[in-house]
Amino acid sequence: MKILLFAAVCAAMVSLSAEEITISKAKNLQPISQKIPVDVSKDYVFTFGTKGGGGKLHVYFFQFNDAQRRIGSHHVWGNADSVTELVGPAIRGANEFVVKDASKWKKPMPQAGTNIVAFDAKADGSDLPNFKIDYYIKDVTQLADGTWKVEMKTPLRRSSPAGTLVRQHYDGGHLSVTVSLPSDKTFTATIKAAKGLGPYLDAWWPGVKLVQLYAQTSDDTPVTITQWTLKEAAAK
């Protein structure tokens, strides 16, 4: 397998494949690009062609900040109405902490991904991506004095002082494009500008500076990606 190179035209922010690449069924995702700079305040258009293959082809957009740290959905997806403050300190190693108001928190359910908490949150979302997360929430219950106790399944990994803002965050998937094969057409998908706190399945995530493309096929028959381009959408 060859890693595709890309050409970036800064004025138009265009990235394109330099050669064909064949994707075979494998447990791990296969990279099809290097890290590409993007401006997530703008919409982008992703196009690609294929030959051969069967089943489903998934193309994933792994996103990174300016320090090349990978951003996960749990760093940028959350419940906007859940921001509240710690009544007392949250102590590293403890399995619970108390917040002022968790009445807007969703029931922590692993299958729904609503079981993560982010510390040092900002009501306006300016903390995103928030890497100060802890997981997993076990339960959220109201106490007799009107405050709320948040119980964790595992000990907290950091300490935070009273008054720190926290937000309920969600686990989730990746920004991706999935198509059915075989097909001789050119596929096109629009990735919209970042919108702030997610979840969003069709938009860049906040704080992203670089993106790297990966692919995976569900079928035993290899598929060849004949070309791809990622470019800023034309101004409306």
Q: How confident is the model at residue 18 (pLDDT cuts 50, 70, 90)?
A: low
At 89-142, the pLDDT tens digits run 999 999 999 999 999 999 888 777 789 999 999 999 999 999 999 999 999 999
pLDDT of residue 13: 60
Local confidence band at 172 (pLDDT 50, 70, 90 cut-offs): confident
- CATH architecture of the domain with residue range 14-70+174-232: Sandwich (2.60)
CB atoms under 10 Å from CB of 72, counted, come to 20
φ, ψ dihedrals at 75, nearest 5°: -85, -15
Using one digit for the tens of pLDDT, what is the confidence trace for 49-65? 999 999 999 999 999 99
How far is the first Cα of the chain from the last one, in angstroms, to the nearest whole number?
Answer: 39
Domain segments of the chain: what residues?
Answer: 14-70+174-232, 73-169
User: Collapsing DSSP states into helix, strand and coil, what is residue 175?
Assistant: strand
How much is the pTM? Answer: 0.89
